[in-house]
Amino acid sequence: MKILKTIEELQEVRKNILGTVGFVPTMGALHDGHISLIKQARTENDIVFVSIFVNPTQFLPGEDLDAYPRREEADKKICEMCKADYLFMPEISSMYKEEEVLIKAPNKSYILEGKARPSHFDGVLQVVLKLFGLVQPTNAYFGKKDAQQLTLIQQMVKNLFLPINIIPCPIVRESDGLARSSRNVYLTAQQRKDALLISKSLYSAANLIGKKEISVEAVKNRMYEVMETLDVEYVEIVNREFDKIDTIEIGNTIILVVARFGNTRLLDNIWL
């Protein structure tokens, strides 16, 4: 595996690559969820790129940019273990200039995660578009846990006519059901235990739907009952276009939940 630190290094390497290119963009602090993306990219492409870049434009004032977990040496070993060909680790100064061309996310970026974090998705799309322009991937891999982000990236690729396949990948969970996240390290032992109610609420929702319950209100009420001891920011049930719905549509529904544990927000979802 070769580590690339500058834009020029990446561009020089990329112009000589033939065949399919798989790309996994990350902010580092890699865990089993990232590993699953890299391994899938490895099996489906001739060349695999991974990027590690903690993107400042998607953090709002007061958020955890400086505290965001960084484990560069461990991340390098993980990428090597997963047989990535190239690891791109640029500096902020090389990715952003004094005067930027800004990206404006669509209106649906201001609901759910975007309601709590206005302009967050502008920053996400901005950096993803930059990375796509540099790596020029055939296939790019994103986890379904960040469902709204995934949907907006798919829309950007479609709207800007980018010749890239966006590959949605399943959520990876701990053995007890907690969704893998770089922010799980912030949890105390008790918060970690309490956080299991998030996935439990989703399993309860799926069980209820399996018994033919299709009322969105009934499913949401059941989830709130399961999580009654948590600081739940929202439970929302939408279709794949992120429109709110009143009735569960099998094959076209996402159930999303966010809860707070002190300063840590954990999000999870289930795709029906």
Catalytic site residue from 31, 34, 39, 222: 34
Q: Residue 31 catalytic?
A: no
Domain termination residue (choose one: 169, 194, 212): 169
175 lies in a domain? no
CATH number, domain containing residue 155 = 3.40.50.620
Domains held by the chain: number = 2
272 lies in a domain? no
28 and 131 share one domain: yes
49 and 157 share one domain: yes
Any alpha helices (H) in 51-195, and if so which ranges? 72-81, 92-95, 113-116, 120-135, 147-159, 189-194
177 lies in a domain? no
The pLDDT tens digits of the residues spanning 12-71 come to 999 999 999 999 999 998 989 999 999 999 999 999 999 999 998 898 777 767 767 788
165 and 227 share one domain: no
Domain termination residue (choose one: 134, 169, 204): 169
The pLDDT tens digits of the residues spanning 84-120 come to 999 999 999 999 988 888 889 998 899 998 887 888 8
The beta strands (E) that lie in 154-230 are given as 165-169
What's residue 191's pLDDT? 95
Q: Which domain holds residue 88?
A: 2-169
Rounded to two decimals, the pTM is 0.92
Spatial CB neighbours of 73, under 8 Å, sequence gap ≥ 6? none
57 lies in a domain? yes
What would the DSSP string read from start to end of 191-204? HHHHTHHHHHHHHH
The pLDDT tens digits of the residues spanning 224-255 come to 999 999 999 999 999 999 999 999 999 999 99
